[in-house]
């Protein structure tokens, strides 16, 4: 009986990253601002450390 068979579906992959340039702090003032935010808002600092632990660290 053909009507009881389920049709096979193929997986669809979607790329979410387009051709956008990376958004990085360009000036020393922006880096100082981000550093000050990390010092003043503990949840930001904790989130950054958590991401580094999950990813395994990185080097620039």
Q: Tell me the per-residue pLDDT of 4-59, one tens digit each, with 9 for 90 and over.
A: 667 777 777 776 666 767 676 678 888 899 899 999 999 999 998 898 888 887 66
Rg (C-alpha) for the chain, rounded Å, is 22
Burial of 27 (0-12, 13-18, 19+ CB in 10 A): exposed
Cα dist from 2 to 5, 9, 40, whole Å: 6, 16, 65
Q: Tell me the per-residue pLDDT of 10-19, one tens digit each, with 9 for 90 and over.
A: 777 776 666 7
State the virtual CA torsion across 17, 21, 22, 26 in degrees, nearest 10: -170
């Amino acid at each position: 009986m053909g009507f009881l068979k389920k049709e096979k579906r193929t997986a669809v992959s979607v790329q979410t990253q387009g051709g956008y340039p990376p958004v990085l702090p360009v000036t020393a003032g922006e880096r100082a601002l981000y550093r000050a935010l990390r010092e003043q808002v503990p949840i930001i600092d904790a989130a950054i450390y958590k991401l580094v632990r999950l990813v395994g660290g990185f080097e620039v």
